[in-house]
Chain A
Amino acid sequence: MVGTLSERILGGPAGSFVDRPVDRAYVHDGTGVLTLEAWRQMGERGPVHPERLSIIFDHIVPANTSVTANLQAELRQFAHTHGIAFSEVGEGIAHQVMSEGRVLPGELVVGADSHTCTLGAFGAFATGVGATDMAAIWTTGMVWLKIPATIAIRISGRLSGAAEAKDAALSYVACLGMDGATYQALEFIGEGVSSLSLSDRLTFSNLAVESGAKAGLFYADETTIHYLRSLGKEAGPQRPEDCTYAQEIGLDLGAIEPMLAIPPRVDTLKPVSALAGTPIQQVFVGTCTNGRYQDLERFARVVKGKKVTVRTLVVPASRAVLAEAARTGVLADLIEAGCTVGVPGCGPCLGAHMGVLGEGEICLSTANRNFTNRMGVGGGIYLCSPRTAAASALTGVITVPEES
């Protein structure tokens, strides 16, 4: 079938409603609790395909209170009883764990978390739903979806200077606005895509939902196939076909410079240079946006052999990321530079525990959301790339990163 990648995967034209079997479905400790409750109310039928399900603990790990611990124990027990793949605290952020070999091009992936769109980087249709929808998926193995129209982001050029994929991704979100792609999918196409690593693509797809998009897809290419092969998975490439896009936006990577998203909106950007010198109280490197090995490595390259002058939390996105950082010496560089390394998971991103901000404190973060009070009441969040975070961690004020 010709059409956009979303139309081809979901098997119908934009605007039609379809019921489809789900290839991969997952929840985390945050949304899993409500899903379990809704599943029980639905009559405890199924799960029809437990082998397609994952339960991954990442939001509050390890548990911070006995309430959390008890809720987690219930969900853990459920996973074991039904033979569902279970990732214990410390294994990593759900989207990252899924990206480490559990998702293949062309699959329909549904997660009970808005950043499920991250997995579009593989050429999968990956989208977030709420707990009740997920309980219905557990029960029936199916999901209903409206096939979205697609906005094409045509990428050209290459990143240069100190600019990173995060700066480019924030730029497309700012261009669309926080609601510019609501009810639609994004497709990242064009000759500039081949210069982006898989890690970079995950960052791009991750931010799709910040423009309201339902999914953000890359076509699987050599980079994708090579990455999957390194994880022991085989896949073929996907080639763009003739299709109609609702809109097309150009993104010249060569014109991107280091950017900051100003609180409380992800679509309000300023060049880092415009805010240089602003004092910060915390730097946070991690999350499903920028907690991968490549991000830690970029950060470490800047701080290696120096000392951070502000509290700096580094939270690897997964145990695999942490292990690689340990193997290559990046971890030692981070620790020796004075960074505090946290348990793989979401860490301070959602302000639930650890790394919470105090009144009036500013955090420079590599995450994807800077909403009011997200990391603590009265705190402000500026979003940036790992390299900008590193340059600023050394000085204690917002600092323009240097070219490497």
Chain B
Amino acid sequence: MRIRGRAVCLGADVDTDQIIAGRYLRTKDRRVWAEHAFEDLDPTLAPRLSGAIIIAGKNFGCGSSREQAAIALKEAGVVGVVAPFFARIFFRNAINVGLALIECACSCQVGVEVTADLTEGWVQVGGERIAAHPLSSRMREILQAGGLVEYGRLQR
């Protein structure tokens, strides 16, 4: 399973409050979350997320369990997130809502083409290919289905 996009670079320990602030949670309108993604971190970021692969520092998605964080990124058109490792609830949430992610410590250059293979376990940024943790087959199946809800439908 392979994903491709343009690099958006973020630092370490980006918490879910920064991905989507608490003040936007009281709705079921996913567009609202997408529009306000990363607002407190960098208000210019949201419009640049479509087609992007986020390359972040360690511990991406720490803090609150809000699933809206993963949904916001998916809804904004983020193709996947790469980080040395993720906070565990965010990791589960991302797989469950169908947002691809992969654990890899790689450097980031804004706007360069990124390819990641979740099965083979590598990330290529610009010309350089770096080894990564492949995802388990169950996680890839959930992602391929589009999330846990859709995966459950396929299982029945």
Q: Which of B17, B26, B40, B156 contacts A71, CB < 8 Å?
A: B26
Instruction: Give the contact stretch, choosing among B65-73, B104-112, B116-124.
Output: B65-73
Known contacts A67-B26, A183-B88, A352-B23: A133-B148 contact under CB 8 Å: yes
Most buried by A among B13, B68, B88, B92: B88
Q: Which residues in chain A, 170-214, are within 8 Å of chain B measured between CB atoms?
A: 178-179, 182-183, 212, 214
Residue pair A178, B88 in contact (C-beta under 8 Å): no
Task: Collect the chain B residues with CB atoms within 8 Å of residue A130's CB.
Answer: 65-67, 70, 89, 92-93, 96
* B77 CB-CB contact with A under 8 Å: no
Residue pair B63, A369 in contact (C-beta under 8 Å): yes
A112 to B66, CA, bound (A): 8
Known contacts A31-B66, A132-B93, A179-B59: A351-B23 contact under CB 8 Å: yes
Task: Collect the chain B residues with CB atoms within 8 Å of residue A114's CB.
Answer: 63-65, 89
B11 → chain A closest CB, angstroms:
12
A369 to B63, CA, bound (A): 8
Task: Collect the chain A residues with CB atoms within 8 Å of residue B25's CB.
Answer: 30, 352
A131 → chain B closest CB, angstroms:
4
Residue pair A128, B149 in contact (C-beta under 8 Å): no
* A278 CB-CB contact with B under 8 Å: no
A181 to B15, CA, bound (A): 16
Residue pair A34, B89 in contact (C-beta under 8 Å): no
Task: Collect the chain A residues with CB atoms within 8 Å of residue B88's CB.
Answer: 182-183, 212, 214
Residue pair B148, A30 in contact (C-beta under 8 Å): no
A267 to B18, CA, bound (A): 17
Residue pair A34, B68 in contact (C-beta under 8 Å): yes
**Size class of A's contact patch?**
35 or more
Q: Which residues in chain B, 74-119, are within 8 Å of chain A measured between CB atoms?
A: 85, 87-89, 92-93, 96-97
Q: Which residue of B lies closest to A33 (CB)?
A: B28
Residue pair A128, B89 in contact (C-beta under 8 Å): yes
Q: Which of B13, B23, B40, B96 contacts A133, CB < 8 Å?
A: B96
Known contacts A130-B70, A132-B96, A178-B13: A112-B58 contact under CB 8 Å: no
Most buried by A among B17, B65, B153: B65
Known contacts A136-B148, A183-B88, A373-B40: A37-B28 contact under CB 8 Å: yes
Residue pair A136, B58 in contact (C-beta under 8 Å): no
Instruction: Give the contact stretch, choosing among A4-12, A38-46, A240-248, A301-309.
Output: A38-46
Task: Collect the chain B residues with CB atoms within 8 Å of residue A377's CB.
Answer: 40
Task: Collect the chain B residues with CB atoms within 8 Å of residue A372's CB.
Answer: 17-18, 40-41
Task: Collect the chain A residues with CB atoms within 8 Å of residue B21's CB.
Answer: 351, 373
* A337 CB-CB contact with B under 8 Å: no
List 8 additional A-B contacts (Cβ < 8 Å) besides A128-B65, A130-B67. A30-B25, A31-B66, A43-B152, A114-B65, A130-B93, A179-B58, A214-B88, A352-B26
Ranked 10 nearest A-B pairs via Cβ:
A130-B93, A179-B59, A132-B96, A130-B67, A114-B65, A131-B67, A41-B149, A371-B17, A350-B22, A373-B40
